[in-house]
Structure 1
Amino acid sequence: MLNELAIRTCGLTKQFDRHIAVNDVDLQVQAGEVYGLIGPNGAGKTTLIRMLAAAEEPTKGEIYINGDRLVGDRDNSTLKQRLGYLPDDFPLYDDLTVWDYLDYFARLYKLKEPRRSQRLREVLELVQLSQKRRSLIATLSRGMKQRLSLARTIIHEPIVLLLDEPVSGLDPIARRQFREIIRVLQEAGMTILISSHVLSDLAELCTSVGIMELGFLVESTTLSQLYQRLARQQIFLTTLGEIDRLTAELNNHALVAGWEVLPGGRVQIDFTGNQEDCADLLRSLIAAGVPLSEFHCTQEDLETIFLKLGHQQAS
């Protein structure tokens, strides 16, 4: 399963009049991955997801879901059964109860009893809404409504889940609850493609990321490779009044790109090495007799990398 592609596109393009929203995108998402799609507003993320969900017809190009081609002029009913799609603006029916709302969609997917009721109980437990099954949707909080929307999206047990800005407008607690559900779905073997502007959430969830800019997929890689290639290490340390000895040692270290003395005698170091290299630097400073009271390694986060890539594209 590791080498199987759950999603593959070839030259996928969508043009609206003279505007090209998605431009010649070759996307590959491995089965079982959580793939994060990021980019500014207008980059083409929603249009790409809509095409993957068969809600938008490509101008040209091909889409494959688990190796089977998604063709716009065919019924694709079997293929669509494998897809779960949560758009960012899907309406809820406030005058229905939670149970009746899910039951309605389960019937649309032709789930029969007793499996239908069993499935409703399963998804309500997963999204932590079992106690709200008889509540009107109008009485739910925004976070509960979003979890209910996710339950509706997975009621038919899809193997590929497409989520467009699912945590938009949610508070930190609701976002954490949503992340926990996504993790459970991934552990169950589902492939998940998710777009979000909350990059800290994606950094916690994703195994790979794709970055879109003006309709192009400008970057697509595993999160670990992205960090390794583009994230600088920074080291913060404090020495007990031995700045001269410290700077002399830093001058001799090839992986130290520069440093700055901060207020209070704390030193910030730009470091081009990895975690093992950080450990080597710490050992060498101690061996040289530099008295340290702090040594802390950090790595640039996904948001910093995204902004850095944006500047590179702009220049």
Structure 2
Amino acid sequence: MIASELAIATSNLTKQFERHIAVNKLELEVQPGEVYGLIGPNGAGKTTLMRMLAAVEEPTTGEIHIYGDRLLTDNSHPRLKQKLGYLPDDFPLYEDLNVWDYLDYFARLYHLRLPHRRRRIQEVLELVQLTSKKNSNIKTLSRGMKQRLSLARTILHDPLLLLLDEPVSGLDPIARMQFREVIRILQSVGMTVLISSHVLSDLAELCTSVGIMELGSLVESTSLKDLYERLSHQQIIIKTLGDLNQLQQELKGFPNVEEWEIISHQNSLRVNFAGGDEESAKLLKHLIHKEIPIAEFHCTQEDLESIFLNLDHKQAS
């Protein structure tokens, strides 16, 4: 696809700090309206990439195009930068302000004028479910509320592209769920979202595509569906009411059974299985024929975290 039809298109994008190459000749393409998840260990280059996409960091070499226009860190093309919303993982909050005044301050920086400014602040407060807190001091908010407030500040100017660097770091499960719901709403109205996170279960629920970074390079960039089809193994959870050793003996040498892991507290096995539905049905039939007292036989797929760990292990070996 040509760059003008992409939300993000980078070419030979490189960032070098003295002798360290943080991002290495990276070619990234993100479709409009996608939620694109960026995965990788600490030091992989995710934050540096985000900073370059937000025009905070200047590339050493290479180009960035946002919706077909070239992005530069100088004062050129201010309308292009207005399409960006960037939430870094360390952006400070002015905790002595109340919620409304904080958003009003940034809305003025975005040159939003009355009455649109007031209406927009009300809209984002409703979106992030903080309307009831509009007169509260920021220092009294929970961590999850503060993060949603930071997101509200980031989308005040209604950007086309939202860049989120570890936005759910340190949040509890309920706060992460609330944050995910906001991202889904933003995607539904056409906003493109690039999000990095170490909480891969969240990315698996949110993302349409993922990119996996390793040592500054993009080693995978594909739709989540394609990633699962290519790299996710089928797994079968088998629980027996009988002897676990007997179950393992019956699995040895059976076609498509690759390896298994004992879930001892459940008297179960997690079996990596190379076959499809027909072959797994044959395995179940075999175990029943051998009078193994099966209490559970459940087929599933490896999750995104397992895929990432397996891929990372292959890269290291």
The two structures have a TM-score, normalised by structure 1, of 0.89
Change (3 A) 1:313 1:244: closer
Task: State the alpha-carbon separation in 1 of the partners of residues 285 and 33 from structure 2.
Answer: 42
Contact 2:104/2:117, CA 8 A, preserved across alignment: yes
Partner of 1:271: 273
Contact 1:278/1:297, CA 8 A, preserved across alignment: no
Equivalent runs, 1:123-272 vs 2, <5 Å: 123-238=124-239, 254-258=255-259, 266-272=268-274
Deviation at 1:158, TM superposition (A): 0.5
Q: Deviations over 1:57-110 (max 9, x none)?
A: 001101111111112334221001111000111111112111111111111111
Equivalent runs, 1:97-108 vs 2, <5 Å: 97-108=98-109
Task: State the alpha-carbon separation in 2 of the partners of residues 261 and 53 from structure 1.
Answer: 46
Partner of 1:67: 68
- After the TM superposition, which of the residue ranges 297-306 and 92-101 deviates more from structure 2? 297-306
Q: Does 1:96 align with 2:97?
A: yes
Contact 2:250/2:287, CA 8 A, preserved across alignment: no
Task: Report SS of the residue matched to 2:7.
Answer: strand
Partner of 1:52: 53
Partner of 1:120: 121
How many residues are aligned here?
Answer: 313
Q: Which amino acid aligns with 2:103?
A: L
Q: Deviations over 1:261-308 (max 9, x none)?
A: 77686454321134x446644675599686743211122221121111
Change (3 A) 1:307 1:247: closer
Partner of 1:309: 311
Contact 2:244/2:268, CA 8 A, preserved across alignment: no
Task: Report SS of the residue matched to 1:185.
Answer: helix
Q: Which amino acid aligns with 2:275?
A: G
Change (3 A) 1:35 1:278: farther
Task: Report SS of the residue matched to 2:58.
Answer: coil
Q: Which amino acid aligns with 1:186?
A: Q
Task: State the alpha-carbon separation in 1 of the partners of residues 51 and 186 from structure 2.
Answer: 21
Deviation at 1:256, TM superposition (A): 2.9
Deviation at 1:142, TM superposition (A): 1.2
Q: Which amino acid aligns with 2:157?
A: H
Task: Report SS of the residue matched to 1:227.
Answer: helix
Change (3 A) 1:26 1:103: same
Deviation at 1:18, TM superposition (A): 1.2
Change (3 A) 1:155 1:281: farther
The two structures have a TM-score, normalised by structure 2, of 0.89
Q: Which amino acid aligns with 2:205?
A: E
Task: State the alpha-carbon separation in 2 of the partners of residues 21 and 278 from structure 1.
Answer: 45
- After the TM superposition, which of the residue ranges 109-118 and 264-273 deviates more from structure 2? 264-273
Deviation at 1:223, TM superposition (A): 1.3
Q: Deviations over 1:36-73 (max 9, x none)?
A: 11111111100000000001100110111111111233
Task: State the alpha-carbon separation in 2 of the partners of residues 305 and 33 from structure 1.
Answer: 21
Change (3 A) 1:5 1:254: farther
Deviation at 1:257, TM superposition (A): 2.6
Contact 2:7/2:66, CA 8 A, preserved across alignment: yes
Percent sequence identity is: 67
Task: State the alpha-carbon separation in 2 of the partners of residues 247 and 166 from structure 1.
Answer: 43
Task: State the alpha-carbon separation in 2 of the partners of residues 180 and 265 from structure 1.
Answer: 37
Task: Report SS of the residue matched to 2:114.
Answer: coil
Gaps of 5+ in 2: none
Task: State the alpha-carbon separation in 1 of the partners of residues 239 and 24 from structure 2.
Answer: 49
Task: State the alpha-carbon separation in 1 of the partners of residues 105 and 309 from structure 2.
Answer: 43
Partner of 2:34: 33
Structural RMSD (CA) = 2.7
Q: Which amino acid aligns with 1:168?
A: S
Gaps of 5+ in 1: none
Task: State the alpha-carbon separation in 2 of the partners of residues 301 and 268 from structure 1.
Answer: 13
Task: Report SS of the residue matched to 2:295.
Answer: strand
